A and B are shown apart, each in its own frame.
Chain A
Amino acid sequence: MTQPIIELRDVQKHYGEYHALRGITADIGQGEFFSLLGPSGCGKTTLLRTIAGFEGVTSGAVLIDGKDMAGVPANLRPTNMVFQSYAIFPHLTVAENVGYGLRRRTDLNRQAKEVLVGEALEMVGLDGFGKRAAHALSGGQRQRVALARALILKPKVLLLDEPLSALDKKMRDQMQVELIKLQRHVGITFILVTHDQEEALVMSDRIAVMFDGEIAQMDDPEVLYRRPNSRRVADFIGVMNFLPASVLSESGDRIEIEVNGLGRVEIGTDQAPLAGANGGTSVGFRPETLTILYEGQTSNDHIAQGVVEEVVYYGDMTYYDVRLDGAETPVRISMRNLFGRPVLEIGTRARIAWNPGALVLFR
């Protein structure tokens, strides 16, 4: 890996008695789209603000581009931020907002600054909006102004604090794609703070999942989704089914386990992360890794039997809660509603195909 743009070295933050950050260590690469994901109060925003320079660290170090940022105030750091509320100056026009940070650029004359502002507005799709009053903008437009205002200063890192949480669903989906494109276009590191796991999965190159001031897992989205390293991470990201299990034997890189409802099966040690199980040994698997077999369908995978207990219809998908024979709680199975395939009714007995490779053992 090339020189990371941000290095966090055992960052600790106390607010009086409250321990907000408990030893965060991470390297964030040049040009990476990095997300800090976690429930509210997990310290993700605090971490972002220590990188921006709004909060100091109690101990540890934040390095940006190899330089220790201790004692460097926010206005002297090579980072810019998009605030959750966007923080658009209400007394200024759109162009004045975007050009706000250019005042100290004495090397540029007025025309050069105007050109830069015009380019920045064009980049975020707001050309021609310069003369408008900032308070007359919609939520999505404010967001674009905030982006243009930050990116015009060519920061080494752009920090985004829950930038999409104030937008409605459609706008949010649209902005997610636009942000990814924008990040590729400008090529700088983006650090996104979000509590929305879907948003993090869609946008990030790498995600750090945070709980209680600590990073629980830091991986790319696919690994995070398929191989969560603890039950807590698994629970936070997407839907995960859990069934109680017991380990029968371990030999080399194989583990033999017995799962309620699925029976005996052998899995690899790579499917059994070391982190704590939180309430006994269990096996987790995603809803889409199981398939309900219709009459006449066959499968080379393992087959289990069960009864449909609940049906949740989503249009493109249907979620079935199926109680497997021998299991105490139902598991959720998601099926695409392919053309000509009827939605099953509650009470139907079904055969379910599953693959041991999709299991994750928490112990």
Chain B
Amino acid sequence: MKLRQYLRSDAARGYLLVSPTALYALLLLAVPLAAIFAFSFWTQDYLTIDKTWTLKNYREALSEPLYRELMFRSVRISAAVTLATVLLAFPIAYFVSFHVPKERKSLWIFLITIPFWTSYLIRVFLWKVILGYNGVLNTTLQGVGIIDEPLTFILYNANAVVITLAHAFAPFAILPIFVALEKIDRSLLEASLDLGESKVTTFFRVTLPLAMPGVIAAVLIVFIPTIGDYVTPRLVGGPNGLMIANMIQTQFLKLNNAPMGATLAVLAMLIVTAISLVFVGLNRKFLRGQK
């Protein structure tokens, strides 16, 4: 009786309505995550998995210099990618928002997304062609006589990873910054000029603070996926450009040590979470006063 009543209530209907999606989200997000967590507390015992709960993996992951080095390098490369992407994206977003006529803005945004029409993998390979020892860049520079020897610091190292990722994530950074700039009431800029500030000081006192939510969104959007990127370091990173995701892959597949891989994945997640929380906090500060 009570069950029937409950099934007729609004709450029950709501749950029923969302249940397919909720189930889907549970299966695809929560379950794998829980599995990774569980694995990280287990250990690999040759061919079988020892399911006794232990922190042994975490101790090893935190004390082993190789893992630590890879973790730091991942953060470092990600930070460099984020910095480069956001610094390059801002002027583009600014230009489109402030200097492109209104009716052509959507065309510009559309053009910016064009690189996405090709697969990520192909774009990475193209960078290999551009940056390689006999690549486009080196042959051109040699051809015009700027360099005698091909540059070697641009491929198969961290630099190549930064360049490739910065290119891949550029639209992700441009769009949120563009949106934030679009939301700025232009009369605020005029008001600042009217109150005696120059165009440059107006940028720093009005435009930039009001664009910060977009900048922070861009930082998060670029930073979070790049720290766990696997394809780019694998293809253009060389031995010194490898990142934590490559190690996780190695643990799972080559070394057949899923628990260790899971532990590294959890640790990477924790680091991303910690850094992201800092930016979310910053965002809250900048969002103060904006609707």
Contact = CB atoms under 8 A, between A and B. Distances in A.
A134 B195 contact: no
> Interface range on chain B: under 10, 10 to 19, 20 to 34, or 35 or more?
20 to 34
Interface of B: 185, 187-188, 190-198, 205-206, 209-210, 286, 288-291
A101 B193 CA distance: 9
A91 B209 contact: yes
Nearest to B186: A87
Interface residues of A, number: 28
A95 to B, nearest CB: 13
Contact of A104 (B196, B210, B288, B291): B196
Given A91-B286, A133-B288, A135-B291, A153 B191 contact: no
B195 A101 contact: yes
B221 to A, nearest CB: 22
A103 to B, nearest CB: 7
Contacts of A91: 209-210, 286, 288-290
Contact of A80 (B194, B206, B290): B194
A187 interface: no
Interface string A47-88: 000001110000000000000000001111001110111010
B194 A74 contact: yes
Contacts of A87: 185, 187-188, 190-191
A149 B291 contact: no
A90 B289 contact: yes
A92 interface: yes
Given A54-B190, A83-B187, A89-B188, A153 B289 contact: no
Contacts of B291: 90, 135
Contacts of A90: 188, 210, 289-291
Contact of B191 (A79, A83, A103): A83
Given A87-B185, A89-B188, A133-B288, A75 B210 contact: no
Contacts of A100: 192, 195, 197, 205
B289 A74 contact: no
Contacts of B191: 81, 83, 87, 89
Nearest to B192: A100
B126 to A, nearest CB: 41
22 contacts: A54-B193, A74-B190, A75-B194, A75-B195, A75-B198, A76-B196, A83-B190, A85-B185, A87-B187, A87-B191, A90-B290, A91-B288, A92-B289, A100-B197, A100-B205, A101-B196, A103-B197, A103-B205, A135-B289, A135-B290, A150-B195, A153-B196
A60 B196 CA distance: 25
Nearest to B191: A87
